Amino acid sequence: MSADTRSHLAPGQRAAGRRRPVQQRSQERYGRILDACAGLLDEVGATALTTKEVAHRAQVPIGTLYQFFAGKEDLLAALAGRNLDHYLQRLDRRLGAGVPPGPAGFTDLAVDEFVAMKRTVPGFGQVDFGLADAAVSTGVRDDRHLIDAELDNNTAVALRLQALGGELFAAADPAVVTLRLRVALEAADAVLKLAFRCDPDGDPAMIAESKRLVRRYLTEPVGPR
């Protein structure tokens, strides 16, 4: 497991928002705005979400919201970034309780934590590490790059997972690991979306199949190209 699991800052990492708060009062307002955004996403969805309603729900002037966020895209980007940070922190704690036996164990924990957040974290069904339903028109200009200005969302997540896994992936070519993690994320994302369409809490059989699919893919030996 990597010693530094806080972040993987790629060259194009976007800094969502106009500025990040430093003072405690501003940090509380910033967090309250993101909490309000998450709650409203569950009620109205990403398409109908407005910065005006988020400010109203957070009980801050609209001008205060715009001190931190340039608009709806920055707001959603900041929420996606916070979700990813929380996900990695949760996963890191699980890994710290006992290193799993290789990529297979890592995969199971990663899926378990994602499913747990899907079930319990406000707004996560609409915006996890990006827009959960990319087919929906939200008015966001570039929903594929909410986390990073240059990398698509799943590549950015793959790099963070790769850093978190550390020695679990150390034996393979780092570029190949990144590619395989990205493909695994795309596959797991598709199956898990289906699982939650079939059952609001996630169909257990499909969740198990998602684990099996990704586990077998990631543990398959990498042959010559």
What's the chain's average pLDDT? 86
Residue 173 lies in a domain: yes
pLDDT given at position 12: 40
Structure tokens at 19: 């500025």
pLDDT tens for each residue of 75-112: 999 999 999 999 999 999 988 887 666 888 899 999 99
pLDDT tens for each residue of 52-82: 999 999 999 999 999 999 999 999 999 999 9
| Angle of CA points 95, 98, 102, to nearest 5° | 75
| Angle of CA points 89, 94, 97, to nearest 5° | 125
- Assign residue 138 the CATH number of its domain: 1.10.357.10
Banded pLDDT at 7 (limits 50, 70, 90): very low
Residue 16 lies in a domain: no
Round to whole Å and give the CA distance between 20 and 59: 19
Residue 137 lies in a domain: yes
Banded pLDDT at 13 (limits 50, 70, 90): very low
How many Å from the N-terminal Cα to the C-terminal Cα in the chain?
A: 28
pLDDT given at position 98: 77
Residue 1 lies in a domain: no
Q: Is the dihedral of CA 68, 151, 190, 4 positive or negative?
A: negative
Residue 4 lies in a domain: no
Question: How many Cβ atoms sit within 10 Å of the Cβ of residue 174?
Answer: 11
> Domain containing 83: what range?
24-219
Residue 45 lies in a domain: yes
Residue 18 lies in a domain: no
Residue 145 lies in a domain: yes
> Per the structure, how many domains does the chain have?
1
Q: Coil, strand or helix: which one is 170?
A: coil
